[in-house]
Every structure is written in structure tokens, then in C-alpha cells.
């Protein structure tokens, strides 16, 4: 009887302690999500308008017959430093982080990167395979993938896909996408979750071919789609949150299963001019620009089902060779131009959930095959008449800044943008003999520039650790990178309290370093502890030792997440799992 009483007394003590642990008051400040996102020249001239394809890249351009000819009168021819705050990282994590995964950099095609690009022309490496034409480089982690054009399309071995080390330029592997009679050049649409996507379709939607998924590490073929596509490099592709490729072409949209290449869905659409008909994704919504009587419309599709949902009002015009893109706040943009001041405008739209309504439009310059960009300070970049680069307010369309007039000798017809975490603007004019890349502050004050003959769509692309890629013809490939901090996190202890060391192993100091320790879990999720702070400077090779301010008390399994971010755009995190019994914490193996 005495032993039973002792057992009951022990159980009562345990139940009492458990009850106390479950009654711990959780303040709103402790309800912290453990997600890192809380930190993270040939021309085809027709009467009254022009269509442009790059020299040496002649495409069978087609204009959709459902777009009626318009009346003849319409057919005449100082840097703002953004602190890398937790809120900023939350916005960035909607995109692809430090990878340049596809045309436009991310699924929204808005050119935003969470890395910090080079503020001076510091070359990391140069050279590579020779190429007749410059094609888009895409990156994932420490690898870049690009087509280098050995010969003009129409034969085997004319356009290998090449993988290179992003940091050194060393070639890692190359493969030939199989050639079928009448195929076009190989193009790389993008890379996601360790898979590189390529095809030989295109030439103005006149060539159909399979889509290939290649292993990013080895180049081995993982699967080949049985459904053919006719998209090309200027259409591009985007990726859903789970990595499925979504490809929009002249009259079709496809979503493929990234695991096996099976068709998830297919939808019909009505593009304007073949060859530049890609779409943009934002929070499960796919947007494309379609032809409509009297001009063009933005159309929303359900990315899960492929169902066409609704459309914007008509934007007056006839031809269009640009794709839409979406800002971090969900604003949908389109540069609807055709070389006619009467109809050439840059449009901004809002998706209300039931309709797409116009926010504003501003006069802009004629561009084709372009990739524009937004920034994290609520702005969007475009090409203004002049021509100039313009920075417009995302809410009102008001002018925030503009560059000097671009030199008359330079092409600006196919501009490509990237914007880094600090707001620095990286710009390519898309030119050929006069190809050039330029770098500006967020206020469009020039920083540096570099000639890049025949750059076409070969950048700018911002990859891991702020590596800027520019690809031209011949062996003219260049990677630029400024010295950066590198943050290494080590969770040194979990008992008697969580202790952490953060070391800057980079070559330069990390400024305005913010850190956060978050502990969550336990029975019924009752264990929630957070500590965070900021220091102004963590010098190179210096270590910061921090700890959780509170003791951990309770029962059950917990997750310890440590995150750090600095003004240079470097983000680091470390996660460990542990178990708690009363005050004792043990790291799980």
C-alpha cells in the first residue's frame, strides 16, 4: 500500500508539473513563426508597325488573326539603401531567393534578387565555350546553365547545354538535346529543384518538340515529355511553388509534372506575336498578355487547373512583343508597345480576386523581348521616351527617378533588368554590335558599365552570393562579384540555455547584422521562446556569441531555429531539433 501511495504521489507531482508547463502564458510576441521567411538587326517590316528579331535569330514570326488591324492613325510608325530587414526577407521568400531560375529571375519575372550584386566591375572569372549567339544563363546554388551556340540551328551538335561552376567558371558537364528533323536551336527555360529544363521547340511557334528534364548535377536525362511544346527562348518558362514548369506559347499553355514529365493540364490562349508570349506566376495565379479586339488584355488562369478565369480591360494597340510581370505587392505590369507614341504605354493592374482593374499607365518607349524589374521599396523600372530608364511609384505611377538619356548609338530595344537586395539596378540594353551592361543606384545614378557585344538575352542574371553573369558571343562570358561577408552559424549549446555563435568568415564586414533565435514546439505547442537583436558591424573573421534570454521549460520535442541577415543581403540559418523534460534540454541526434 505504501509503495502504491508513493507511485501515486510521484504521478501527481508529474501531472502538476505538466499542468504548470501547459498553463504558461503565451504573449503575442512569443507567437513567432519558425519560417525563415520572417527574416528571407533583322527586321520584318509591315505597313505601319515593326516586328523585331535579333540578327542571326530570324524567327517565323506570326501575328494572331484575331487581332484586327487598327485604324490607320494608330499605326504610324543618390542610392537609397534598403536595410535587409526581416520584413524584406519575408517578401523575398515569395520568389526564388538567390537563384536566377528563369527569364526574369523568378516565377513572377520581376527581376528581384535577395543577393547583393557588385558595386564595381570586379571580375570573378571570364571565358567559356564559344557561341554564335548569346542565350540566357540560369543558376541554382553554385551552378550555372546556359546554351552555347556552336552552329546555327538545323543539325545535331549545334547548341549544347553547358553546366559551369558559378564561382570558378569551370565546365562541369555538357549535353546535346537530341535533334529531330526540322528542329530549332536548343534553349534552356530554367532550373528548379535540381532539374534543368530544355527543348528544341520554337522558331516563332513553328517548331514542336519534347521538353527535357536534365539532372542539374550530372546532365543525365531524367524524363522526356510525350506532349510536344512549341515555345521558344523568348517565351521562357516559370515554376510553380512545387517546381512544376509552366510554359506559355503563342496559342497554348502547358503545366508539366516535374517528377515524371506528365501533363498536368493544357489550356488554349490567343497570343499577340509569336515568340514572346510567356507568363508570370504570383501566389497561384498565372498571368499572360493575350490579343483581343482592339488591342491586348491581361488574362488570369488558375495554375492548379488551367482554367481561364477573367481578364483586364483592353489596352489599345496592335502588336506586342513583351511579357507581363508581377511586383512583390501583386501589381501586374505590362509594357504594351509597338513603336507608336499613340499606343505605347506602361500599364499597372490590380487583381481584386474577381477582376483585373487598371491602376495607372504611363507613356513609355518601344521595346521587344524585354524583362523588366520591380524593387523592394515599392517601385518599378521601365524604359521612358527619350529614351531613359525610369523608376515609377508602384501605387501611383508617379516618377521617382530617371536616368540620363541613353546614348543614341546604343540600342535599348530589348532591355533586361535585375535589382538586388539593396536596390542596385543592373541593366542590359540587349544590343548586338553596341551591346552594353550598366549598373545604377536605386536612384538611377550610374555606377559602372561594361561593353558586351551581342548580349541579346545573356543577362544580367544575379546568382548565389551576388555573382553577376553577363554572356556575349565568342568566349565572352563574364562573372562579377564584389567581396562579401559570409555568415556561419553554430548552435553551441542547448542546455542550460540555447547558445549560438555567428562568425563572419567573409572578406569584408557585415553591417547592420540582425539575428534571431526562435524555439517552438512542446506538448500542444506551448513552448515558444524568441530572442533577437542587431549589431552595427561584424568584422571579417569576427565571432558574435549570443543566447536565448529565457530558460526553456516544459515537455516534448522542440525546434530551434537561428537566423541572421545583414545589409549586404547575406542570409544564414541553422536548425536543430531537441527534446525537453522540465528544465532539461537534449539535442536530438
Q: CB-hemisphere CA count at 13 Å for 79?
A: 16
pLDDT for residue 58: 54
pLDDT for residue 486: 87
pLDDT for residue 376: 87
Residue 476 and residue 559 share a domain? no
Residue 567 and residue 465 share a domain? no
DSSP letters for 221-273: EEEE-SS-B---TTT--EE-TT--EEEE-SSEEEEE-TTT--EEEEEE---SB
Residue 322 and residue 209 share a domain? yes
Query: Is 452 inside any structural domain?
Result: yes
* Mean pLDDT calculated for residue range 55-83: 43
pLDDT digits (tens, 9 = 90+) for 177-208: 999 999 999 999 999 999 999 999 999 999 99
Residue 493 and residue 476 share a domain? no
Last residue of a domain, one of 480, 512, 531: 480
C-alpha 189/C-alpha 211 separation (Å) is: 10
Domain at 143, CATH number: 2.130.10.10
Instruction: Mark 315-324 as b/e (b = at least 16 C-beta within 10 Å).
Output: bebbbbbbbb
pLDDT digits (tens, 9 = 90+) for 253-311: 999 999 999 999 999 999 999 999 999 999 999 999 999 999 999 999 999 999 999 99
Residue 514 and residue 460 share a domain? no
Residue 495 and residue 475 share a domain? no
C-alpha 298/C-alpha 281 separation (Å) is: 13
Residue 577 and residue 549 share a domain? yes
pLDDT for residue 32: 29
How many domains are contained in the chain? 2
* Mean pLDDT calculated for residue range 481-507: 92
Domain at 491, CATH number: 2.60.40.10
Residue 221 and residue 196 share a domain? yes
pLDDT for residue 284: 93
Whole-number average pLDDT of the chain: 86
Stated length of the chain: 589
Most confident by average pLDDT, 54-68, 222-236, 503-517, 548-562: 222-236
Question: What percentage of residues in the chain have a pLDDT greater than 70?
Answer: 83
Query: Is 264 inside any structural domain?
Result: yes
Last residue of a domain, one of 480, 503, 533: 480
pLDDT digits (tens, 9 = 90+) for 401-435: 999 998 866 678 999 999 998 999 999 999 988 99
Q: How confident is the model at residue 228 (pLDDT cuts 50, 70, 90)?
A: very high
Query: Is 59 inside any structural domain?
Result: yes
Q: How confident is the model at residue 64 (pLDDT cuts 50, 70, 90)?
A: low
Query: Is 345 inside any structural domain?
Result: yes
Residue 542 and residue 427 share a domain? no
Query: Is 77 inside any structural domain?
Result: no
Q: Which residue has the higher pLDDT, 177 or 68?
A: 177
Cis peptide before 496 (omega within 30 of 0): yes
Give bridge partners of residue 195 from the DSSP assignment.
192, 215
Residue 309 CA, chain-centre distance (Å), reads 25
Residue 249 in this model has a pLDDT that exceeds 60: yes
Residue 332 in this model has a pLDDT that exceeds 60: yes
Residue 140 and residue 186 in contact, taking contact as beta carbons nearer than 8 Å: no
Residue 563 in this model has a pLDDT that exceeds 60: yes
Q: Residue 552 sits in which domain range?
A: 25-38+484-587
Q: How confident is the model at residue 6 (pLDDT cuts 50, 70, 90)?
A: low
pLDDT for residue 3: 54
Last residue of a domain, one of 451, 480, 509: 480
Residue 200 and residue 266 share a domain? yes
pLDDT for residue 71: 34
* Mean pLDDT calculated for residue range 240-250: 97
pLDDT for residue 41: 34
Query: Is 16 inside any structural domain?
Result: no
Residue 526 in this model has a pLDDT that exceeds 70: yes
Residue 474 and residue 553 share a domain? no
Instruction: Mark 445-477 as b/e (b = at least 16 C-beta within 10 Å).
Output: eebeebebebbbbbbbbbbbbbbbbbbbbeebb
Query: Is 504 inside any structural domain?
Result: yes
Query: Is 85 inside any structural domain?
Result: no
Residue 376 and residue 111 in contact, taking contact as beta carbons nearer than 8 Å: no
pLDDT digits (tens, 9 = 90+) for 141-191: 999 999 999 998 878 999 999 999 999 999 999 999 999 999 999 999 999
Residue 169 and residue 32 share a domain? no
Amino acid at each position: 500500500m505504501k509503495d502504491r501511495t508513493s507511485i501515486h504521489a510521484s504521478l501527481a507531482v508529474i501531472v502538476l508539473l505538466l499542468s504548470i508547463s501547459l498553463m504558461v502564458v503565451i504573449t503575442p510576441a512569443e507567437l513567432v513563426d519558425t519560417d525563415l521567411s520572417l527574416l528571407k538587326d533583322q527586321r520584318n517590316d509591315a505597313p505601319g508597325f515593326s516586328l523585331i528579331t535579333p540578327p542571326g535569330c530570324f524567327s517565323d514570326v506570326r501575328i494572331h488573326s484575331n487581332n484586327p488591324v487598327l485604324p490607320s492613325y494608330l499605326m504610324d510608325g543618390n542610392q537609397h539603401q534598403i536595410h535587409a530587414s526581416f520584413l524584406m526577407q519575408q517578401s523575398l521568400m515569395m520568389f526564388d531567393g538567390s537563384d536566377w531560375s528563369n527569364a526574369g529571375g523568378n516565377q513572377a519575372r520581376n527581376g528581384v534578387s535577395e543577393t547583393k550584386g557588385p558595386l564595381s566591375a570586379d571580375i570573378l572569372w571570364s571565358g567559356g565555350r564559344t557561341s554564335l549567339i548569346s542565350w540566357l544563363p540560369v543558376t541554382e546554388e553554385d551552378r550555372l546553365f546556359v546554351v552555347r551556340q556552336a552552329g546555327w540551328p538545323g543539325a545535331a551538335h549545334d547548341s549544347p547545354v553547358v553546366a559551369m561552376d558559378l564561382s570558378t567558371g569551370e565546365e562541369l558537364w555538357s549535353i546535346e538535346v537530341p535533334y529531330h528533323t526540322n528542329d530549332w536551336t536548343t534553349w534552356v527555360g530554367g532550373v528548379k529543384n535540381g532539374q534543368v529544363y530544355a527543348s528544341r521547340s520554337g522558331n516563332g511557334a513553328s517548331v514542336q518538340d519534347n521538353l527535357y528534364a536534365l539532372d542539374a548535377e550530372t546532365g543525365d536525362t531524367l524524363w522526356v515529355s510525350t506532349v510536344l511544346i512549341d515555345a521558344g527562348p523568348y517565351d521562357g518558362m516559370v515554376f510553380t511553388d512545387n517546381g512544376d514548369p509552366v510554359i506559355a506559347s503563342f496559342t497554348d499553355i502547358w503545366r508539366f509534372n516535374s517528377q515524371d514529365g506528365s501533363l498536368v493540364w493544357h489550356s488554349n490562349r490567343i497570343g499577340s506575336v509569336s515568340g514572346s508570349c510567356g507568363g508570370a506566376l504570383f501566389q497561384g495565379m498565372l498571368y499572360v498578355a493575350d490579343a483581343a479586339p482592339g488591342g491586348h488584355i491581361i488574362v488570369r488562369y488558375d495554375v492548379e487547373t488551367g482554367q481561364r478565369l477573367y481578364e483586364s480591360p483592353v489596352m489599345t494597340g496592335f502588336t506586342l512583343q513583351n511579357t507581363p510581370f508581377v511586383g512583390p505587392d501583386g501589381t501586374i505590369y505590362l509594357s504594351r508597345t509597338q513603336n507608336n507614341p499613340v499606343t505605347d504605354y506602361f500599364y499597372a493592374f490590380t487583381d481584386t480576386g474577381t477582376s483585373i482593374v487598371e491602376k495607372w499607365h504611363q507613356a513609355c518607349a518601344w521595346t521587344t523581348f524585354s524583362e523588366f524589374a520591380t524593387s523592394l521599396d515599392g517601385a518599378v523600372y521601365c524604359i521612358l521616351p527619350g529614351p531613359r530608364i525610369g523608376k515609377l511609384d508602384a501605387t501611383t505611377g508617379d516618377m521617382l527617378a530617371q536616368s540620363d538619356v541613353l546614348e543614341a548609338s546604343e540600342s535599348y530595344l530589348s532591355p533586361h533588368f535585375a535589382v538586388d537586395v539593396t536596390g542596385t539596378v543592373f541593366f542590359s540594353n540587349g544590343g548586338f554590335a553596341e551591346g552594353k551592361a550598366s549598373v545604377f543606384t536605386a536612384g538611377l545614378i550610374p555606377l559602372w558599365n561594361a561593353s558586351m557585344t551581342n548580349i541579346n538575352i545573356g543577362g544580367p542574371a544575379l546568382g548565389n552570393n551576388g555573382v553577376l553573369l553577363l554572356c556575349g558571343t565568342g568566349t565572352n562570358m563574364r562573372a562579377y562579384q564584389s567581396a562579401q561577408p559570409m555568415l556561419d552559424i553554430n548552435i553551441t549549446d542547448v542546455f542550460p540555455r540555447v547558445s549560438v555563435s555567428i562568425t563572419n568568415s567573409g572578406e569584408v564586414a557585415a553591417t547592420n547584422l540582425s539575428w534571431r533565435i526562435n524555439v517552438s514546439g512542446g506538448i500542444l505547442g506551448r513552448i515558444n521562446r524568441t530572442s533577437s537583436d542587431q549589431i552595427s558591424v561584424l568584422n571579417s573573421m569576427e565571432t558574435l556569441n549570443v543566447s536565448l534570454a529565457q530558460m526553456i521549460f516544459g515537455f516534448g520535442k522542440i525546434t530551434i531555429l537561428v537566423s541572421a541577415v545583414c545589409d549586404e543581403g547575406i542570409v544564414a540559418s541553422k536548425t536543430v531539433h531537441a527534446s525537453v523534460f522540465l528544465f532539461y534540454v537534449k539535442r536530438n541526434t
